[in-house]
Amino acid sequence: MLVTTRGRKRWMIPKGWPIRGLDPHESAAREALEEAGLVGDVHAEAIGSISYNKRLGHGREVQCVVEVFPLYVDHQRDHWLEQGERETKWFSSRKAASLVSETGLREILLRFDVQGSSTDGLPHPSP
């Protein structure tokens, strides 16, 4: 699943700042819930990482490194915290890779397609 960013409405994976008291994969699962309403089991090992420049207020930017964790989705809630602020949509891994602007994320999505995405576009654990 991809979500749109709030500002420029670009397609991206759910992501956010680390959450104090949570391991990185738990923070990733919380962000997926808040940004896309996704509930499921998150894998504790990252499948890759990307760097990007995040725009802050007053023209400032900060370089961020995002670790990417697969979330095996059980369901999407009917309502979630940022529902009115973002669009969400399921894509195959290949289609998602063609829509994101970050090269590193594109590569991760294409690798993930080979490793364990099914034909329905939903992530499933590899056998």
Q: What is the pLDDT of residues 62-118, one digit of tens each?
A: 999 999 999 999 999 999 999 999 999 999 999 999 999 999 999 999 988 655 544
- CA dist 127 and 10 (Å) reads 33
Q: Mean pLDDT, the chain, as a whole number?
A: 88
Alpha helices in 6-102 (DSSP H): 24-36, 93-99
Q: What is the pLDDT of residue 80?
A: 96
Q: What is the pLDDT of residue 11?
A: 97
Q: Read off the tokens for 98.
A: 């063609």
pLDDT surpasses 70 at 125:
no
